[in-house]
Structure 1
Amino acid sequence: MLLKGSCHCGAVKFQLESKHPYPFNICYCSICRKTAGGGGYAINLAGEYETFTVEGKEHIATYNAMIEGKKSQAQRNFCKHCASALWLYDPRWPALVHPFASAIDSPLPIPPEKTHLMLASKQEWVETHATAKDQCFQQYPKESIAQWHQRLNLEKQ
């Protein structure tokens, strides 16, 4: 599925192909919450880096979070004008890029279930709206984004 996204002010536009376009993985970690999570969490997708194109690269800044006293390799990209969280890229997995669902302008499919992760980091004011179908994890689940899509037979070609 072709995903098109942009920042709020329009300075940055991007697109990429994704076999895993369902916005199901809701992350409550302090990094996602503080850098992208207006609702106390963030939702990211997965796409193929080789198809990733960006207009307005000069308007992008990156942030590498500190995790347990060490600078993370994961690069959180955002617009330096409007501060929209756009995507995460991690050189440890160079074939992938993870756009934030909040930056996607294309219609996204509705997931049949959701995964709530990093609940140990959730703030008390944030309500977890998990249904009976949803899975909840205090940390990271073992199931990857690709495995979730495969298990539910949702891969888009």
Structure 2
Amino acid sequence: MLLEGSCHCGSVKFTVSSAYPYPFNLCYCSVCRKTAGGGGFAINLSGRYETLIIEGKEHTSIYHAIIDGKESPAERHFCKHCASALWVYDSRWPELVHPFASAIDSELPIPPERTHLMLRSKSSWVEVEKKPNDKCFSEYPEESIAQWHKRLSLEK
């Protein structure tokens, strides 16, 4: 599925191909919730890095989070004008890019279940809206984005 995304002010537009476009992974870690905002969590999708096309790249900047006292190699790309979170790229998995669902303008499919992860880091004011088939994890689940889509026969 071709995903089209942009920042709020329109300075950055991008497209990326994704076989795994369901926005199901809700991450409550401090980095996601503080840099991406939202309901106390952020949702990342998965795309093929080689297909990422960016218009207005000069309007982006990169943030490397400090995790356990060390700079993360993960690059959190955002618009330097409006601060919209756009995508995460990590050289440890060079074939992947993870756009934030909040930056996607394309119609995304509704997931049949969701995964709530990094719940040990969630803010106390956040109530987890768990549906009957949802899975909850205090840290990371073992199942990857690709494995989740394959298990539910949802690849695009």
Q: Any gaps of 5 or more consecutive residues in structure 2?
A: none
Identify the residue that residue 43 of structure 1 maps to in structure 2: 43
Consecutive aligned runs of 4 or more in structure 1 exceeding 6 Å deviation:
none
Deviation at 1:38, TM superposition (A): 2.1
Q: TM-score, normalised by structure 2?
A: 0.99
Is the partner of 2:31 in helix, strand or coil? Answer: helix
Q: Any gaps of 5 or more consecutive residues in structure 1?
A: none
What letter is aligned with 2:132? A
Aligned residues between the structures: 156
What letter is aligned with 1:127? E
Identify the residue that residue 127 of structure 1 maps to in structure 2: 127
Q: TM-score, normalised by structure 1?
A: 0.99
Q: 2: distance between equivalents of 1:51 and 1:77?
A: 16
What letter is aligned with 2:103? A
2:9 matched to 1:6?
A: no
What CA deviation, in whole Å up to 9, does each residue of 1:31-62 have, x standing for no partner?
Answer: 00100022110000000011110000110000
What CA deviation, in whole Å up to 9, does each residue of 1:62-90 have, x standing for no partner?
Answer: 00001111100000000000000000000
Is the partner of 1:149 in helix, strand or coil? Answer: helix
Q: 2: distance between equivalents of 1:38 and 1:115?
A: 16
Please identify, of 112-121 and 31-40, the stretch whose mean Cα deviation from structure 2 is larger: 31-40
Please identify, of 94-103 and 31-40, the stretch whose mean Cα deviation from structure 2 is larger: 31-40
Identify the residue that residue 89 of structure 2 maps to in structure 1: 89
Q: 2: distance between equivalents of 1:79 and 1:116?
A: 27
Task: Indicate the RMSD between aligned Cα atoms, in angstroms.
Answer: 0.4
Deviation at 1:132, TM superposition (A): 1.2
Q: 2: distance between equivalents of 1:54 and 1:65?
A: 23
Q: 1: distance between equivalents of 2:134 and 2:38?
A: 21
Q: 1: distance between equivalents of 2:69 and 2:30?
A: 14
